[in-house]
Structure 1
Amino acid sequence: MKANYLEESLFRELEERLLQPDVRKSAKDVMDLLADEFIEFGSSGRVFDKQQIINSLQNERIEPLTQRSITEFKTLVLATGVVLVTYRVVKYISDEQPVHSLRSSIWKLTNARWKMVFHQGTLLRES
């Protein structure tokens, strides 16, 4: 079942927060959004836990003119308090070709707060 409009808007806002450079650089902000049991299957093929993601985002080099946009955003309620979101991200870096990726995340309601427990990014060759 698809999440209702308000829930879908909330999940889109949460996902967009994780794309913002100031949030990505803030260990506290990232810690607040990720569950302790968080795991990510990265586009590199590597598997990351919460602390590894926080560390890598602290060291992430962000180009000054980098912009990311979300398209094709969808939600699916898997169970009470568990939601799957899927979408595409287009990353623009100044004059370079845009980078496209498919993204999926699972969010779980814990202590009245939504936390991401899983994320996967897959790079696409298409433009």
Structure 2
Amino acid sequence: MELSQQDRNLLERLEESLWREETRFDIALIKEIIAEDFIEFGKSGRIYHRSDALSISAQPIEAIIPLPDFEARLLAENVAQVTYNSAVTYRGVINRARRSSIWTRSPSPHGWILRFHQGTPY
């Protein structure tokens, strides 16, 4: 069982949309792609929920895109994991983290919804 190239490309675009200002702060889009039961273990160690993701104020995002070392694989028939390294500049300092997200196939307009995310600094 392998992820199709079409699904891999779609998951990469969806993940990148979370790192682009024009899509990250589009609340209608974020409501469509982040699951009701979403949880994130942030690189700070803090736990975030969907309500936290929806309440972030718009701000500049200086992330490297395409996402470095992006990989995607199926964990189960309708469950995919994506991994990549992020490099994001905050106040002139580049922060790097290893990232992992779990997406499930859904009838949503985007085909997948984000259930879980974790960032670990390196």
Say if 2:59 is the partner of 1:68.
no
Aligned length: 119
State the AA in 1 paired with 2:68. T
Q: Which runs of 5+ in 1 are unaligned?
A: none
CA offsets per residue over residues 21-79 of structure 1, 9 Å max, x none?
12222221111110111111111111111011111x2x25326xx24331111112011
CA distance in 1, matches of 2:44, 2:36: 22
Secondary structure of 1:10's counterpart equals helix
Q: Report sequence identity in percent.
A: 29
Residue of 95, 99, 117 corresponding to 1:99: 95
State the AA in 2 paired with 1:118. F
Report the equivalent of 2:35.
35
Name whichever structure is richer in strand by fraction.
1
CA RMSD of aligned residues (A): 1.9
Higher Rg of the two aligned structures: 1
State the AA in 2 paired with 1:102. R
State the AA in 2 paired with 1:74. E
Asked whether the 8 Å contact 2:43–2:121 carries over to 1, the reply is yes
Report the CA distance between 1:2 and its aligned residue: 4.5
Moved more, 85-94 or 100-109: 85-94
> After superposition, where does 1:1-127 map in structure 2 within 5 Å?
2-55=2-55, 57=56, 59-62=57-60, 66-69=62-65, 70-92=67-89, 96-111=92-107, 113-124=111-122
Spell out structure 1 runs of 4+ moving beyond 6 A.
none
